[in-house]
Structure 1
Amino acid sequence: MIPLIDLYRWRRGDRAAVAAETDAALRESGFLLISGHGIDPTLRAKLRTAAKEFFDLPDSTKSRYAAPVGGRGWIPIGKEANAFYGLEADTSRADLKESLTMGRDFATGDAATDAAWFAPNVQPAEVRDLAELCALYAEQVRALYDELLDVCDAALGLPEGFFRARSRNSPHTFNINRYPPLRETGAPQEGQFRVAPHTDWGMLTILDRQAGYGGLQIQTLDGDWVDAPLHDDAYTINIGDLLARWTGDRWRSTRHRVLPPPADQPGEELISLIMFMEADVDTEVTPLPAPISVRQDLPPVRYGDYLAERARAASVALETESMTG
């Protein structure tokens, strides 16, 4: 259901087979595992160590770097809710996680765009190496993103460079998610998760995750929830709503969730490194022509408007924060 695809095969010239496997996987589940990516595991280990040092700081210190959902900085436990009731976030069941979020260090030259999408990153003074490690890691993941866009071009039969040309000035969001132990959050409410069932919003999500009892699950076509496979040193890749829309729902933006740990594992603590990769925010996303797209009836949307709308919907209002412990 979720294949492991080795990028070395792509680089060695086995492109038609890799493209076909990618297309099949994104039609069925919207997920891939990618090996052969070349990102140093030592860098990821150092980054997790520095991030843990930041998360271990008192909330009073971390609050100096507080940010809203979609912003840059610290998002405390209870500030983000991916559980929805109708079209509104279910703030009574906010996600059991805290995040440190960063974005792309870039400027388009348009003042309004840069203010909205390329604000300066936070630089926590208490953890000396964190900002440098984050920047180095983001640079390597963006290179991987460009290569994955080339694979997507081939999988859809598009001209080489189609998606890259529409992503040169794109933002990204880099979330370091800490999933705290139960002794810190207390037992979850019924229907409460580390990350509640949701779809991602944009193009591609590039996830480096740790094994744990409170792990990633994806929803199958028949509505069942299954554990996402984990392979040593492989990245978990999934597409978001806007890439699904661009392909006229040929590819699936799949609901997924992160479970809280079971009661008999109250000490489990995990840190995930998540890069949400985007296209240029002024791009009009409309279904590609047939036979690529399955549907042609999806109205066009402006890329940045969709992202901003989803971030607002997932934000927990200040008056509800006291519910989250």
Structure 2
Amino acid sequence: MIPTIPTIDLTPWLSGDPAARAATAAAVDAALTDAGFLLVTGHGVTREERAAVRAAARAFFALPVPVKERYGVSVGGRGWLAKGAEANGYSEGTATPPDLKESWTVGADTPTGADPEIDAFWFQPNRWPDAEAPTLRPLVESYLTRMRRVADEVLRLLGSALGQGEDFFTAHTRHPTYTLNINWYPGVSVMGPPEPGQFRIGPHTDFGTVTLLDRQAGQGGLQVDIPGHGWVDAPFDPDALTVNIGDLMARWTGDRWRSGRHRVLPPAPEAPEEDLMSLVYFYECDPHTTVTPVGGPVTYAPVDSSAYLRAKLDAITVTP
């Protein structure tokens, strides 16, 4: 039987009741051991907030390409990633054509003040198309604040689920790196027909600690790779955020929790103009955190989080 990807309500965890918190932590441990994914409700981020971010982003993506090119960046930058900039399958060694998407990327922008090299890459100033899409900045900045709070709460829950204490992971998020990718997946009239083996996002695992994903359901939508069962359509709940474990978290747990391999399918032949948008919040940790496994079936050598993440970003960059 294929393991189910459960929906976990955060309300009992947030209630403060010890028994309810323990039960929630146990359910999370079981879910992540099986699949590396779960859905969470009770996170407090409303549908209206998420819809407002999408609407503001759509106003930007609808602009002519020459206008968007003013904000063009390469992978790891802050601004617009054009079609063809990334191939996420490269991170796992899977040869695919470039991903069929455009992205608007922002992230942590408060420098440490102590490490110029770290600040120059991980805490770059965000760029904003204030003249062309004036509502994007305030809505996204508010969303970033909300998602960081949710991410830290999820990490407290994960610390408890791992039996290491609630502050085990958040001890390493005092000045963390994080990124929000607003991924636009338009239909074939914008992106062109998919090439053989081409995806909206190719098969990969995420790189950091946790990813909080707000997605839209679609035929060309998210699939997850369940060990022993192959690719299955990810469950969808409009009230839920999808949480998946990244590579650093998997290493931290010695693969007790596996990083969730996933992909986003190209437009289906029966729905060639399907248009979807995902809000993908990647939460990482403080720069140069040493990630050392605690238990689990696999013994990994400690890694420097910044070096690990930078190597993965370099790997998915499509060289012209």
TM-score class, shorter-chain normalisation, is over 0.9
Q: Distance in 2 between matches of 1:235 and 1:67?
A: 28
Contact 2:76 / 2:121 at 8 angstroms: preserved in 1? no
1:25 pairs with one of 31, 34, 38: 31
Q: Distance in 1 between matches of 2:139 and 2:146?
A: 11
Q: Distance in 2 between matches of 1:123 and 1:62?
A: 11
Matched, 1:121 2:126: yes
The amino acid across from 2:121 in the alignment is A
Q: CA deviation at 1:85?
A: 9.2
Within a 5 Å distance, the mapping from 1:241-252 to structure 2 comes to 241-252=247-258
Contact 2:92 / 2:204 at 8 angstroms: preserved in 1? no
Matched, 1:46 2:48: no
2:98 pairs with one of 94, 99, 103: 94
Secondary structure at the aligned position of 1:154 is classed as helix
Q: Which ranges in structure 2 are unaligned for 5 or more consecutive residues?
A: none
Name 1:195's counterpart in structure 2.
Answer: 201
Secondary structure at the aligned position of 1:53 is classed as helix
Question: Residue by residue, what CA displacement relative to the aligned partner does 1:64-109 show, whole Å, maximum 9, x if unpaired?
Answer: 111111211100011100123974x74x610000000001132222
Q: Distance in 1 between matches of 2:5 and 2:71?
A: 37
Name 2:226's counterpart in structure 1.
Answer: 220
Q: Which ranges in structure 1 are unaligned for 5 or more consecutive residues?
A: 319-325
Name 1:10's counterpart in structure 2.
Answer: 13
Q: Distance in 1 between matches of 2:91 and 2:315?
A: 11
Contact 2:47 / 2:238 at 8 angstroms: preserved in 1? no
Question: Residue by residue, what CA displacement relative to the aligned partner does 1:84-137 show, whole Å, maximum 9, x if unpaired?
Answer: 3974x74x6100000000011322222322112101001113111101111000
Matched, 1:36 2:36: no
Tell me the TM-score normalised to structure 2 length: 0.94
The amino acid across from 1:312 in the alignment is D
Matched, 1:239 2:245: yes
Name 1:163's counterpart in structure 2.
Answer: 169
Secondary structure at the aligned position of 2:181 is classed as strand
Question: Residue by residue, what CA displacement relative to the aligned partner does 1:23-68 show, whole Å, maximum 9, x if unpaired?
Answer: 1111110001000000122121111111000001111111111111
Name 1:60's counterpart in structure 2.
Answer: 66
CA RMSD of superposed structures (Å): 1.4
Q: CA deviation at 1:205?
A: 0.4
Name 1:267's counterpart in structure 2.
Answer: 273
- Length, aligned pairs only: 312
Within a 5 Å distance, the mapping from 1:128-143 to structure 2 comes to 128-143=134-149
The amino acid across from 1:43 in the alignment is E
Q: Distance in 1 between matches of 2:272 and 2:265?
A: 13
1:255 pairs with one of 261, 274, 288: 261
Tell me the TM-score normalised to structure 1 length: 0.93
Name 1:322's counterpart in structure 2.
Answer: none
Q: Distance in 2 between matches of 1:102 and 1:223?
A: 35
Secondary structure at the aligned position of 1:138 is classed as helix
Instruction: Return closer, same or farther for 1:116/1:85 CA change in 2, 3 Å cut-off.
Output: closer
Q: CA deviation at 1:242?
A: 0.5
Identity %: 49
Secondary structure at the aligned position of 2:232 is classed as strand
The amino acid across from 2:143 in the alignment is Y
